[in-house]
Structure 1
Amino acid sequence: MKKMGLLPRLILGIILGIIIGVVSSKVGNYAIPRIFVTFSELFGAFLGFIIPCIIIAFVAPGIAELGKESGKLLALTAAIAYISTIIAGTVSYFIGMSILPKVLKAEEIAKKAGVDIKPYFSLKIDPIMGVMTALVMAFMLGVGMSKIKGRTLFNSAKDFQHIISLVVKNILIPFVPVYIIGIFVKLTISGDIFRTLKAFSSVYIILFLLQIAYLVGQYSIAWMISGKKPFKSIKNMMPAYFTALGTQSSAATIPVTLQSARKNSISEDINDFVIPLCATIHLAGDTITLVLASMGVMIMNGAMPTFGTMFPFILMLGVTMVAAPGIPGGGVMASLGLLQDMLMFNPAQQGLMIALHAAQDSFGTATNVTGDGAIAIIVDAVAKRSEVKEALRLVQ
């Protein structure tokens, strides 16, 4: 019998998580859910530990192998990610202003809390460094290795990359579906998502449709630059999309995103460089959510968001999102200061934003990581054109 692929296992994990959560809630017995939640807690702790290792293992050698082009490609990737985020927020504003005032009414999120499932036990596994620290370290090592003549450090970095690749292949990828079961069991039993969806259903419908449309737009641009068919490219990224639905973390989804992006025939060096980088700096999905949700909260409280108010907020979001290191809920946590200082949100409104973001965090993260694949295609196409031009110049 042919082994079930990753994508079917991810979908099965989501369905099983919801079914187990619903059945357990009806019978009032949470023994089985606690087993899955315990596994998710342990697996999540291990993910938190290995994420900085993944970033260093893939980004540093990737930059080093790009050599002199690494600085240019780093600037190009960062610029594309920032522009993508700003466009996502701006489009969200105009779509929101054309629809939200007509459909959104003042409603309250239900106060009744569901059951909070606790693991049987948990372990604290501290990462060797923070994600942003790992990113800076990877930049420094990568650029440094590309400049020095010696190969000792580079060979060591490649050996470390091989070790991390084995961990990803033999531990992370096989157990991600079980991890997702535990996450969806807990979300289903707690009832947070369903209560929030009931009150803000119109906002979420707009969010989801806009996120999907934005992905199609990103891959259409990538198609115009690279010639790679957009819907085929999106199809290849679906394992990453569904993994992100469960992990709610761009960084935790890096192993699957790397695996999915390779199917789009992206150069290995570019893939290993762009995907981990964009997992930290490209959060277009979160930006769409934060802009539309904040507009919804403002409209509910009788304030009409203007472009003059929202556009500076969007510009700052593009920078602040870098401080959201690909962890669940990182986007909204990084934006709380902007919500308070620029949109004058009080603590209650900030709490509502956290709830709104949490209810769809999976879809925002899925949009982020799937969009990373489009950026990788664009950067790869630009890099190949530069190589061709350089070759022609040398021939002439």
Structure 2
Amino acid sequence: MTGSTLVSPLQKLLRIGLVPQIVIGILLGILVAVASPELGKQLSLLGTVFVKALKAIAPLLVFVLVASAIANKQASDNSAMRPVLVLYMFGTFLAALVAVVLSFAFPTTLVLEASPEAIAAPEGISQVLKTLLLQVVDNPINALIAGNYIGVLAWAVGLGIALQHASKNTKLMFSDLSHGLSSLVKFIIRLAPLGIFGLVADTIATTGFSALASYGRLIAVLLSSMAIIAFVVNPALVYFKIRRNPYPLVLRCLRESGVTAFFTRSSAANIPVNLQLCEKLELKEELYSVSIPLGATINMAGAAITITVLTLATVHTLGVQVDFASAILLSLLATVSACGASGVAGGSLLLIPLACSLFGIPNDVAMQVVAIGFIIGVIQDSAETALNSSTDVVFTAAVSQSE
């Protein structure tokens, strides 16, 4: 009787669905961190194991899926990648513009007392583009190990094209391998409630909320910009493509992709989650197998917002005058820079000095802003990743459904 008594609640918990289980994990993580911060820190192992498992399987999954999809692609297939790329770039540019508007409407000033981080920021946009080009020709084994998705995609596309004339058995082998890896990913994703429980407990126990209070206005501008993109701009772009109510799709992507990305804080770790969501939405595999990993690299609306808001906060703090043309130029620079964020150590925050250089702001001052970015990163980076990752599925689904 005891065994059946224990199994019954567990079975009921498993039946309620993954997203409710994640919500329960979040609430339990908060309770544990508040009740016992030391225990909360120890539970970080659960989150670390979950994120590392996703990061470990994601490069191999992307490589096999892309190679298999292209190898088995029929000559009449239309992958529709061009419209997806247009949405990625246009959406990122609009995100930067929204950030500019809110930054002028609610100007924020900073107390530049933080110690500059001893990290090398990119010296110019040419360095960002050079980094991206070098990633394309990276050693394929190293690309898989390092999680260099530009390199993984490039080699997978090349192999897929080469295998288009291979025997049916060879193509079938790659197809079976992709299905096997997808099954493995589904098992890892089932562990998300435990992983997020550990991540939440550790984050709140370690940082709390006091360190963020002094930057409340800055966080509010960042989150407001991201919310406008997620709930206004993205739905408008989706409606333009599918000509029907976009909110069921947008909200589902935020719920099933954005929530996980918020707590893992890694677009790479969320690639398997997005691929599974695309499968649930019954999208074309030859489209999403390429667009999702590519989006994790270049679709960076959240990063564009972070770069723009923190740069303009620095500008307002120093009293630098910014005209309309400079604001548009900043939006364009943030768009291009955000696409290379994943290719620069430290992500979007280290591209702030590049944007600040537009206004003649010294690098040592800009790096103090980077340090502030690390302080608010618990919220900023989480929200940024959630927006970036969920938008990958939103735009892929919009293009797929518009056909």
| Alpha-carbon distance in 1 for matches of 2:41, 2:144 | 25
Match of 1:338 among 332, 354, 379: 354
Instruction: After TM superposition, give the deviation of residue 314 of structure 1 in Å.
Output: 3.1
Q: Tell me if structure 2 keeps the 8 A contact 1:59–1:142.
A: yes
- The 1:139/1:342 distance shift into structure 2, 3 A limit, reads farther
| Mapping 1:222-301, distance limit 5 Å | 222-237=238-253, 238-301=255-318
Instruction: After TM superposition, give the deviation of residue 16 of structure 1 in Å.
Output: 2.0
Match of 2:228 among 205, 213, 233: 213
- The 1:305/1:288 distance shift into structure 2, 3 A limit, reads same
| Alpha-carbon distance in 2 for matches of 1:328, 1:180 | 25
Aligned residue for 1:134? Answer: 152
| Mapping 1:37-76, distance limit 5 Å | 37-68=44-75, 73-76=80-83
Instruction: After TM superposition, give the deviation of residue 376 of structure 1 in Å.
Output: 0.8
Secondary structure, aligned partner of 1:128: helix
Aligned residue for 2:387? Answer: 367
| Alpha-carbon distance in 2 for matches of 1:308, 1:369 | 30
Q: Tell me if structure 2 keeps the 8 A contact 1:14–1:180.
A: yes
Amino acid at match of 1:15: L
Tell which has more relative contact order, 1 or 2 (C-alpha 8 A, sep 6+).
2
- The 1:46/1:265 distance shift into structure 2, 3 A limit, reads closer
1:97 aligns with 2:104: yes
Q: Tell me if structure 1 keeps the 8 A contact 2:99–2:305.
A: yes
| Alpha-carbon distance in 1 for matches of 2:146, 2:306 | 29
- Tell me which moved more, 83-92 or 305-314: 305-314
5+ residue gaps, structure 2: 1-11, 116-142
Summarize deviations over 1:334-353 as a string: whole Å, max 9, x none.
x2552464453423222223
Q: Tell me if structure 2 keeps the 8 A contact 1:106–1:300.
A: yes
Match of 2:95 among 88, 100, 104: 88
Instruction: After TM superposition, give the deviation of residue 285 of structure 1 in Å.
Output: 1.7
- The 1:330/1:312 distance shift into structure 2, 3 A limit, reads same
1:311 aligns with 2:331: no
Instruction: After TM superposition, give the deviation of residue 86 of structure 1 in Å.
Output: 1.2
1:166 aligns with 2:183: yes
Match of 1:12 among 24, 35, 49: 24
- The 1:128/1:107 distance shift into structure 2, 3 A limit, reads closer
- The 1:53/1:16 distance shift into structure 2, 3 A limit, reads same
Instruction: After TM superposition, give the deviation of residue 153 of structure 1 in Å.
Output: 4.3
| Alpha-carbon distance in 2 for matches of 1:41, 1:264 | 29
Amino acid at match of 1:214: I
- Tell me which moved more, 255-264 or 70-79: 70-79
Instruction: After TM superposition, give the deviation of residue 85 of structure 1 in Å.
Output: 0.8
| Alpha-carbon distance in 2 for matches of 1:286, 1:70 | 33
Identity of matched residues, %: 22
Instruction: After TM superposition, give the deviation of residue 248 of structure 1 in Å.
Output: 0.8
Summarize deviations over 1:255-277 as a string: whole Å, max 9, x none.
22233344444334333332222
Summarize deviations over 1:29-76 as a string: whole Å, max 9, x none.
x1x324421232233333332221122133333344445577973343
1:350 aligns with 2:370: yes
Aligned residue for 2:195? Answer: 179
Summarize deviations over 1:174-208 as a string: whole Å, max 9, x none.
11222212222222122265422x12222322332
| Alpha-carbon distance in 2 for matches of 1:265, 1:327 | 34
Q: Tell me if structure 1 keeps the 8 A contact 2:306–2:349.
A: no
Summarize deviations over 1:289-333 as a string: whole Å, max 9, x none.
221122123322333444444433432333333433499963324
Instruction: After TM superposition, give the deviation of residue 145 of structure 1 in Å.
Output: 3.5
Instruction: After TM superposition, give the deviation of residue 173 of structure 1 in Å.
Output: 0.8
Instruction: After TM superposition, give the deviation of residue 232 of structure 1 in Å.
Output: 1.0
Q: Tell me if structure 1 keeps the 8 A contact 2:61–2:181.
A: yes
Q: Tell me if structure 2 keeps the 8 A contact 1:252–1:327.
A: no
Aligned-residue Cα RMSD (Å) equals 3.1
1:3 aligns with 2:15: yes
Instruction: After TM superposition, give the deviation of residue 225 of structure 1 in Å.
Output: 1.9
| Alpha-carbon distance in 2 for matches of 1:328, 1:165 | 29
Amino acid at match of 1:60: A
Aligned residue for 2:35? Answer: 23
Aligned residue for 2:128? Answer: none
Instruction: After TM superposition, give the deviation of residue 380 of structure 1 in Å.
Output: 1.2
| Alpha-carbon distance in 1 for matches of 2:327, 2:317 | 16
